[in-house]
Structure 1
Amino acid sequence: MRYSFRQLEVFLAAAHYENITRAAESLSMSQSAASSALRDLEQQFDVQLFDRVGKRLQVNELGRSLRPRAEALLEQARELEAALSGQSSFGHLKVGATLTIGNYLAVGIMARYMGEQAGATVSLEVANTATIAGKVSRFELDVGLIEGELHDPDLEVFPWRDDELIAFCAPSHPLAQCERLTDEDLLSATWILREPGSGTRQTFDRAMHGLLPELNVLLELQHTEAIKRAVEAGLGIGCLSRVTLAEAFRRGSLVPLPVPHRDFQRRFYFILHRQKFRSPGIERWLELCGETG
């Protein structure tokens, strides 16, 4: 074999950090050793995997095409090593989830996953749909759980479970007593919304077609709890996933606003890189997610 797993690790770390010093630090290597490993890999096959711009390494077209295969090869090598050592093949799983899913659904799945296999661990990153998709695309996350529609040729998107958004307000709000909201009500209201780039905002914008330019949006916030607190304080009305509002509706601190003529239905999705090796851990995670659908 004309390459080593260490060379592949350096290649992947350099592609991730775009800097050989940071790549070396991530692998507990010296900068000179990492540089030598990457140089030897390229010279052995007479190829160039990066465009060098000052101290920055930008992976080129050949490097991008090889990256998923190198990722898969190293993942399988880790599984083989774990099996030979008599350890769990599930290992460490890197999961990304959008805010609604991460805060209200993913933690229970994590508990089941780690409870099944001794030594299995999960790191969970919570961000909006655009951020999670980007990290899955760059192999920084093994799997993503998102609430927005996505079209990316590098990613596979699988439907997971149905969801819907609910408009809501504080019990003291003037609209709280309305049996149903009209378009005039929607236009006269002050809105507290999720930020652009989130799956929730994507669904809201689609549902409000024809009204968007005229809506009075007071605040755009990244966190659902901040939106709920602002609405409870009487600053306006909001629109979030039913999953995030169930407890507040039970307490009576917020009340739903029926908008039957607007379609707030949506779906949650799994996303994986098309060339990502599906380890037993990834497969089991997806199975557990499916059981919560």
Structure 2
Amino acid sequence: MNITLRQIEVFLSVAQFSHVGRAAEFLRISQSAVSMALSQFEDAVNERLFDRSSRKIFLNDAGKKLLPYARKAFEAASEVENFRSDGKVKGRLRIGASTTIGNYLMPFVIGGFAEKFPDTEAVMEVANTAVIARGVLEHDLDLGFTEGPVNEEELTEFFWRKDRLTVFSPKSFIEESYKSDKSAWIMREKGSGTREVFEAAMSKAGIGFKIKMELGHTEAIKKAVEAGLGIGCLSELAVSGEISRGVFRRVHFRNADFSRSLNIIIRKDKYLTASMKAFIDYCLKEDIKTAGYPD
């Protein structure tokens, strides 16, 4: 069996995009080169690995069974390619972060890591918890950082650090008028870790709530609250600056526990490269502080 690293990379790319043209664009080679490498790879393993239609190409059962082995082989080969006898870490990381982490924490983390390990490269995707979990599950991301619980058998989830949500309103609002189930809430969308933690805390405390508006971005929620459209609930990281400047005021719900854990997620079968190990170790050991982060 004569299999090349390029053939494995082509196989993985076509499996990811289900399209020869998109795989070619991603790999920066011609479509004919992709088709040839894929055909050679199927000949080498003596199996048809895809079902082909006029427009798309899909993994068949044999391809699906081979996929995890091909990923591990490619990742291990990449580790050899990035090997440094001097012990320095080299490699590219695909990191996913849910919205609050991606906007308010991860830039400091990636910046500090790059300074400590200058031969590494980090690419970050910011989305809600559900999207990041799916990216890790589908191997589009090496590891993820999430604000809400992720219940997936194929993922390992472990504690990173503490966070807390803060209910806030415009400074001019009277607090007592926003403690009934008629309150107008402006919240993140379903699938957001912030939304899940908020709903669980309110339900456990027996506090009714009515969501008036769903917005997919933290800054949009803050602007809507500032405009007097309702009250919001976001991470302390996101609103501490406005609270200290008097733009917002905290609304206290003493029976509701808005504390939460920020977690790291990774596939259980993921091959941990040296750069991944170094990044996780850096996140767990370094004292990364940002303004507004809870003690």
TM-score by length of 2: 0.89
Change (3 A) 1:99 1:123: same
Residue of structure 1 equivalent to 2:74: 74
Kindly indicate whether the alpha-carbon contact (under 8 Å) linking 1:90 and 1:279 is maintained by their aligned counterparts in 2. Answer: no
Counterpart of 1:29 in structure 2 is 29
Hey, what's the Cα distance between the residues in 2 that align with 1:211 and 1:83? 53
Aligned in 2, Cα 1:25/1:212: closer, same or farther, shift over 3 Å? Answer: farther
Alignment check: 8 A CA contact 2:21 2:31 kept? yes
The answer to whether 1:208 aligns with 2:205 is no
Q: Is the deviation greater in 37-46 or in 99-108?
A: 37-46
2:240 corresponds in structure 1 to 246
How far is 1:104 from its partner?
Answer: 0.6
Q: Indicate how the Cα distance of structure 1 residues 225 and 292 shifts in structure 2: closer, same or farther if over 3 A, else same.
A: farther
Segments ≥4 residues shifted beyond 6 Å = 84-87, 210-214
State the distance in 2 between where 1:141 and 1:258 align: 38
Partner of 1:287: 281
Distance (whole Å) between structure 2 residues aligned to residue 210 and residue 246 of structure 1: 25
Q: Is the 8 A contact 2:95 2:143 kept in 1?
A: yes
Choose 212-221 or 197-206, whichever is displaced more: 212-221
> Structure 1's 61 and 269: CA in aligned 2 closer, same or farther, altered over 3 A?
farther
Residue 233 (structure 1) aligned with residue 239 (structure 2) = no
Q: Distance in 2 between matches of 1:253 and 1:25?
A: 47
CA contact 1:69–1:275 (8 Å) conserved in 2: no
How many angstroms does 1:71 deviate by?
A: 2.2
* 1:1-293 equivalence runs, <5 A: 1-83=1-83, 89-175=89-175, 178=176, 185-209=179-203, 215-290=209-284, 291-292=286-287
SS of equivalent to 1:118 = coil
Task: Please state whether the residue corresponding to 2:271 is helix, strand or coil.
Answer: coil
Q: CA deviation at 1:188?
A: 2.2
Matched position secondary structure for 1:173? coil
Determine helix, strand or coil for the equivalent of 1:48: coil
- For structure 2, the 5+ residue unaligned runs are 289-295
Aligned residues: 287
| Corresponding residue SS for 2:82 | helix
Computed over aligned residues only, the root mean square deviation of the Cα atoms, in angstroms, reads 2.4
State the distance in 2 between where 1:164 and 1:211 align: 16
Instruction: Please give the alpha-carbon distance, in whole angstroms, between the structure 2 residues aligned to 1:57 and 1:209.
Output: 46
Q: More displaced, 208-217 or 132-141?
A: 208-217
Q: Distance in 2 between matches of 1:248 and 1:61?
A: 54
More displaced, 44-53 or 193-202?
44-53
Following superposition, the deviation at residue 75 of structure 1 comes to 2.2
Name the CA distance, whole Å, in 2 between partners of 1:274 and 1:115: 29
Aligned-partner Cα distance in 1 for 2:50–2:114: 38
Deviation sequence 1:27-52 (CA, Å, 0-9, x none): 12221221121122222222232232
Greater displacement, 51-60 / 137-146: 51-60
1:97·1:146 contact (CA, 8 Å) conserved in 2?
A: yes
Q: What secondary structure is seen at the aligned counterpart in 2 of 1:83?
A: coil
Question: Unpaired segments of 5 or more residues in structure 1?
Answer: none
Aligned-partner SS, 1:209:
helix
Moved more, 262-271 or 74-83: 74-83
Distance 1:253 1:213, change over 3 A: closer
SS at match of 1:276: coil
Shift in alpha-carbon separation, 1:61–1:250, aligned structure 2, 3 A: farther
DSSP-derived class of the 1:44 partner: helix
Counterparts of 1:137 and 1:24, CA distance in 2: 23
> For the structure 1 residues 152 and 17, does the alpha-carbon distance in structure 2 shift closer, same or farther, using more than 3 Å as the test?
same
Partner letter of residue 143 of structure 2?
V
Partner SS for 2:57: strand
- Is the Cα–Cα contact under 8 Å of residues 187 and 211 in structure 1 kept in the other structure? no
Would the alpha carbon gap of residues 251 and 270 (structure 1) be closer, same or farther in structure 2, given more than 3 Å must change?
same
